[in-house]
Structure 1
Amino acid sequence: MRCMLIDDDIPTVEALLGIVNWDEFGITEVQTAHNIQDAKQLFENGEPDVIICDIEMPRGSGIDMIKWARDRQYEGGFIFLTCHESFSFASKAISYDADSYLVKPLDKQELEAALRKSMDTLKKKMMMGEYSKMGLAWLKNKDVVERGFWSDVLTATLSPRIHLIQSEVQKRELSLSVHTEYILFLVSVPRSQIESEWDESIFQYALSNLISEILITEVSLGRMIAYQVDKVFYNAILIESPLDKKWLQDSAENIILMCRQYLKCTATCYFSEKTAVSGLSQVKTELEQLDESNIIFRGKVHLPNEPFHYDITDRFTLDMELFTLLFVQKEKVQIVNRLKKELELLTSLNKLDSTTLHSIREDFLQVVYSLLSRQHIQAHRLFADDVTQSLAQKADSSVFDFMKWAQALTDKTVDSIKEVLQSEGVVERAKRFIQENYRQDLSREDVAASVYLTADYLAKVFKNETGQTVKEYLNDFRIRAAKQMLIESTASIGEIAMDAGFDTISYFSTVFKKLTGETPIAYRSKHKTAR
């Protein structure tokens, strides 16, 4: 076999020639090139079986080289080298079917492992090459046909009745028995658990390839079905029973490890019980529902009949008074940090199930809506943008998604309230203070202090703008509140007077009659009768 080394750094090429025992891998000839142009010329004189190539070179990148080679139907191995991790390079390398992606300085064991993987892949391709072109096409087509069959079974496109399934098996000329029981192995990766730079189609392709490489010795490609539900990537694998359960669990743990290491994402694996073909669609739905309810047990292998163990003996209640105070004080960082600590504590105690997370969300929304209502801000308009709507839809799916939503909600709420308050003049702020504190024993000095003015100056400004004195406005607002209480409550006149901020019933009655033209008792009698 022949290998080609491509790197503009001559010492690196010399080092590679020396550290690898090429004979061990069956490589008898190693060619070297220091730029893409020379490499292409060597390539055209005779294709190498494997190429080890630096990605970043001044006269053409390694991506250019693999694209050029793949365009010429080159099916040999390709190992990339780079001085630093680059997501864009890695994703392109995956799309061109590179075997490995190694970061310098090179580790001898990693390089040899990558070479061994390339050689194994190459041998499989050579074995496949022993089939005729027609035979190879048939094999590929067989996987496509079988994958289509299983996809129809899992989505209930096919009727679950055995004789109809059997008819479909015969029609598609598949070699399987409808009486065999299968284990459904489901691999889940939520979109929120992968790096944002990933293109969804490339990620799904990379995830499917990784899973198939791990399982291919025991499971045919025709029984691996990749699909997406909302923002979750799934791979459903049909495993014919019986199969070594330890091998299955080890394979699932390997998938989780490889996803974390190479795709930088969190995968979760679920296994069903042995199930007849007719029941697979229902089982798939149940596993997806299990995944949807999984808030804190991600990145693990979940075996059948092993439910998530939540401690829900004491349901958690959000401290709404505390969060209201933090919002009033406009402490955005403290709001988010306090919420994050609460969720982390619940997670550590296994108390954060989907019901608890949803109730925390509802309580948090209640705090926000109450504050916005006081400021006359319409929540449905404030949160109508696509980004906030998208975050809201995913908020119940994980702690990470919940915190992204809570952060966005907090920022918008606090910033909007600040904007409203800053736009108010001195008189409007004085009115707001009166409206929020009218039940208290308020003096003109108290109101002036709330807007940082002297009492005399506020009195002058207030009278000029409203036509009322501060005291008149205060009494007017108190009487409006009292009128509502007289109609809607059964409280006594004395209780209403006190609740509206008046010291005595007599003074309340005097002010009430002056402003309304009738006594509190007469007003209540007339309006309660009218209702």
Structure 2
Amino acid sequence: MQCLLIDDDIPTVNVLHDFVDWDAFGISKIMTAHNISDAKLLFEQSIPDIIICDIEMPKGTGLDMIKWVREHKYDCAFIFFTCHESFDFASTAISFNADAYVIKPFDKDKLETSLIKAIDVIKQRRELNEYSRYGQAWLKNRDLVEQGFWRDIMFATIPPRLDVIQSEMQKRDLDIHLEESYLLAITCVSKTDMEIDWNDNTFKYALHNLCSEMLFGTTDHSQIVTYKIEDVFYSALIKAENESIDVIKHKYDNLIKQCRKLFRCTATSYLAEGNEIFQIAETKIKLEEMDKKNIIYKGKVHDGKERFVYSNSEPYSLDVHQMNTLFIQGERVKIVNLLKKELETLASLNKLDVNTIRAIHQDFVQVVYSLLYKNNIQAHKLFSDEVAQQLAQSSNGSVFEFMKWANYVTNTTIDFLKMVIASEGVVEKAKRFIHEHYDQDLNREDIAAVVFLTPDYLAKRFKLETGLSVKEYLNEYRVKVAQEMLIHSKASISHIATQTGFDSISYFSTVFKKVTGDTPNAFRAKYNVLKI
């Protein structure tokens, strides 16, 4: 198809020319003119299928143009693009069979919707003219009826019983053989696999026509049904198995390549052979579920019998200690690269399934939330914006979406922690250092060096603000961590003493009793009694 853009405002013509994805609408040639006279001359070279025209121009109006086109009986769809909302303009345009009337300023979605409408109208008009010329106008209606029938079969609007299906075929006067074996093929494109933010209706229209042209060599074939569920677009083919499966697979390989080239999206196709007509609705659901479980094999053609079996013998766990250290150090690039490397390794070993991604997701969240909790930051406030929520909702759907979410969470967390740290006083920084290194052999000099103060001056400031000496605060924090371990783990007392930075079990027991009033054993026993 060809389109002619007419507007005396050159920037407007340039925006229209560059901003619309004309290929998606099957428009291969764009012509431009800045007045009516030049536009008429272009008709001598090639007659456009669609004209997008401003109304008010200095050398003749858009209304003059449509009147001239209609008088010469050129079969062109006409879209007016203007800043005038006047009823006189609109009514005159309608009287000359204008297909759409779009008000400036430029709105891409409205224009694309008008394009879809205009293309459909001109196709229907030309097809009807062609049919009537040969006395075959009924063919188009038959195609629409058949397409509606297959949609009803797929969605079980017609119950999957042979007697009911046969009755519906008779009502719709369709010549379809019940005894045939049918191929059901579904092509899936998730919004998360799109590089362009498509308008839903535009993408459905473009995907439907591309599938029809790639598989049948014509647009809007009756055996192609396109639909959308949640954030996934589907285009289904239902046909009798009268063609080699290898030929079908080859066509779908090319379809996937064209989706990447024209629409900049990743399409995945699933083929299921040997269906009786009453099994199609059930097979459709199975193929949709198959796509949901497909994490790392996108952008390919799959047999409907595949099960995406992953070789996971045991649950996967992220190295949360290493991840926590990287967050504390602010190593955002290393965090993202570590996750990427883990996912690539698991994928190469065929161990990256939905459950594994979910486990990594949960471990990663645990690290982030634990870190935020230690710094008195409420996670639900930090990640309450719309972008964070959208990324979180789709993060388990694919590796790409998981990495987008993880990158966002990493940057947001580290940026906020840096802001909190920058606003802290000397004592708060010293306390933070204690929280992060309590399990090491710390002394007053180590802590003072971090905040660039002498040990004596830090001791005075610390005592003044907390009421405790640095040593007392360190021991109390260590005891606090030890209490959690005594309650929530079965580790031995000696192990807990070592893990919380005490150099001997006797010193640990002495400090623990001084702080809590109980020995470690008595504290654990008391808690166990309370649980019972």
Task: Tell me the TM-score normalized by structure 1.
Answer: 0.72
* Residue in 1 that maps onto 2:323: 323
Distance (whole Å) between structure 2 residues aligned to residue 345 and residue 94 of structure 1? 46
Deviations 1:452-483, CA, capped at 9 Å, x for gaps = 22111111111221233223333444555667
Q: Which residue of 1 aligns with 2:152?
A: 152
Q: Answer yes or no: is the 8 Å Cα contact 1:94–1:206 preserved in 2.
A: no
The alpha-carbon deviation at position 272 of structure 1 amounts to 0.9
Unaligned segments of structure 1, at least 5 residues: 9-31, 79-86, 100-119
From the superposition, tell whether residues 159 and 368 of structure 1 become closer, same or farther in structure 2 (CA, over 3 Å): same
Q: C-alpha distance in 1, partners of 2:460/2:376?
A: 27
Equivalent position amino acid for 2:214 in 1? I
Select between 423-432 and 302-311 the one with higher mean Cα deviation. Answer: 302-311
Paired residue for 1:103? none
Measured against aligned partners, the alpha-carbon deviations of 1:331-388 in whole angstroms (never above 9, x if no partner) come to 1122223322333444455543333333332332232233223223333333333222
Quote how far apart the aligned CAs of 1:160 are.
1.2
Partner residue, 1:391: 391
Q: Give 3-state SS (helix, strand or coil) of 1:274's partner.
A: strand
Shift of 1:226: 0.9
Instruction: Classify 1:178/1:519 alpha carbon distance in 2 versus 1 (closer, same or farther; 3 Å).
Output: closer
Q: What residue number does 1:254 align with?
A: 254
| 1:280-314 C-alpha deviation (Å, 9 max, x unpaired) | 11100111112122223222222343554756578
- Contact 2:209 2:219 (C-alpha < 8 Å) held by counterparts: no
Residue 18 of structure 1 corresponds to none
Corresponding position of 2:13: none
**Structure 1 pair 191–507 and aligned structure 2 pair: CA distance change class (3 A):** closer
Matches within 5 A, 1:195-210: 195-210=195-210
> Structure 2: which amino acid aligns with 1:212?
S
The 1:519–1:323 alpha-carbon spacing in structure 2 relative to 1, beyond 3 Å, is closer
CA distance in 1, matches of 2:383, 2:32: 58
Question: d(CA) in 1 for partners of 2:332 and 2:391?
Answer: 18
Q: Which residue of 2 aligns with 1:128?
A: 131
Q: Is residue 143–residue 220 contact of structure 1 (8 Å, CA) maintained in 2?
A: no
The offset of 1:216, in angstroms, is 3.5
Distance change >3 Å, CA 314–CA 76, structure 1 → 2: farther
**What's 1:298 paired with?**
298
Per the alignment, do residues 41 and 389 of structure 1 end up closer, same or farther by CA in structure 2, a change over 3 Å counting?
same
Give me the whole-angstrom Cα distance separating, in 2, the residues matched to 1:526 and 1:197: 59
CA distance in 1, matches of 2:185, 2:359: 32
Inter-partner Cα distance in structure 1 for 2:523 and 2:271: 71
> CA 1:483–1:232 in structure 2 vs 1: closer, same or farther (change >3 Å)?
closer
- Where does residue 338 of structure 2 map in the other structure? 338
Instruction: State the identity as a percent.
Output: 44
| 8 Å Cα contact 2:268-2:301 kept in structure 1 | yes
Inter-CA distance 285–423: structure 2 relative to 1 (3 Å threshold) = same
Report the equivalent of 1:371.
371
For 1:320 and 1:222, the matched residues in 2 are separated by 54
Partner deviation per Cα, 1:196-234 (whole Å, 9 max, x = no partner): 342121111111112222334599733221101121111
Alignment-mate amino acid for residue 228 of structure 2: Q
Measured in 2, the distance between the counterparts of 1:360 and 1:280 equals: 36
Partner residue, 2:418: 418
SS in 1 for 2:185: strand
Structure 1 contact 295–354 (Cα < 8 Å) conserved: yes
Range 270-279 or range 436-445, more displaced: 436-445
Q: Which amino acid aligns with 2:425?
A: G
Distance change in 2, residues 1:457/1:129 (3 Å): farther
Cα displacement (A) at 1:493:
7.8
Spell out the pairing of 1:37-186 with structure 2 (5 A cutoff): 37-38=36-37, 40-41=39-40, 75=75, 95=116, 127-131=130-134, 136=137, 138-186=138-186
Paired amino acid for 2:131: M
**Distance across 2 between alignment mates of 1:511 and 1:243:** 81
Q: Which runs of 5+ in 2 are unaligned?
A: 8-30, 79-106
Q: 3-state DSSP class of the match of 2:133?
A: coil
Q: Secondary structure at the match of 1:146?
A: helix
Report the secondary structure of 2:226's partner residue.
Answer: strand
Q: Distance in 1 between matches of 2:510 and 2:313?
A: 56
Shift of the 68–235 alpha-carbon distance from structure 1 to 2, 3 Å rule, reads farther
Q: Against the structure 1 CA distance between its residues 187 and 426, is the aligned structure 2 distance closer, same or farther, given a 3 Å change threshold?
A: same
Question: Could you say what secondary structure the match of 1:159 adopts?
Answer: coil
* Residues in 2 aligned to 1:297 and 1:519: alpha-carbon distance in whole angstroms: 56
CA contact (8 A) 1:444 1:455 kept: yes
1:70-116 Cα shifts (integer Å, max 9, x gaps): x96965699xxxxxxxx9799689647779xxxxxxxxxxxxxxxxx
Q: Distance in 1 between matches of 2:380 and 2:213?
A: 48
CA drift at 1:275: 0.8
Kindly state the Cα deviation for residue 448 of structure 1 after the two structures are TM-superposed. 1.5
Alpha-carbon distance in 2 for matches of 1:242, 1:266: 28
Mark the CA change 1:126 to 1:186 in structure 2 (over 3 Å): closer, same or farther. same
CA separation of 1:259 and 1:475: change in aligned 2, threshold 3 A: closer
Residue in 2 aligned with 1:12? none
Q: CA 1:518–1:333 in structure 2 vs 1: closer, same or farther (change >3 Å)?
A: closer
Deviates more, 1:330-339 or 1:480-489: 480-489
Distance 1:200 1:506 in 2: 69
User: Distance in 2 between the 1:125 and 1:400 partners?
Assistant: 46
Distance, in Å, in 2 between the alignment partners of 1:347 and 1:485 is 35
TM-score by length of 2: 0.72
Instruction: Give the residue type in structure 2 aligned to 1:430.
Output: A
Residue pair 2:318, 2:363 contacting (<8 A) in 1 also? yes
The offset of 1:42, in angstroms, is: 5.6
- Contact 2:209/2:220 (8 A) holds in 1: no
CA distance in 1, matches of 2:526, 2:319: 43
What one-letter code is carried by the residue in structure 2 that aligns with 1:282? E
Cα contact 1:49–1:77 (8 A) shared by 2: no
CA contact 1:91–1:198 (8 Å) conserved in 2? no
| In 2: Cα distance, 1:260 partner to 1:486 partner | 56
CA contact (8 A) 1:310 1:353 kept: yes
**SS of residue in 2 equivalent to 1:265:** coil
In structure 1, distance between residues paired with 2:513 and 2:4: 99
Distance 1:229 1:503 in 2: 61
Cα distance between partner residues in 1 of 2:409 and 2:494: 43
Q: Return 502-511 or 398-407, whichever deviates more.
A: 502-511
Cα distance in structure 2, aligned partners of 1:294 and 1:530: 47
- In 2, Cα distance between equivalents of 1:310 and 1:495: 37
Q: Which amino acid aligns with 1:128?
A: Y
SS of alignment partner, residue 222 of structure 1: coil
Q: Which residue of 2 aligns with 1:283?
A: 283
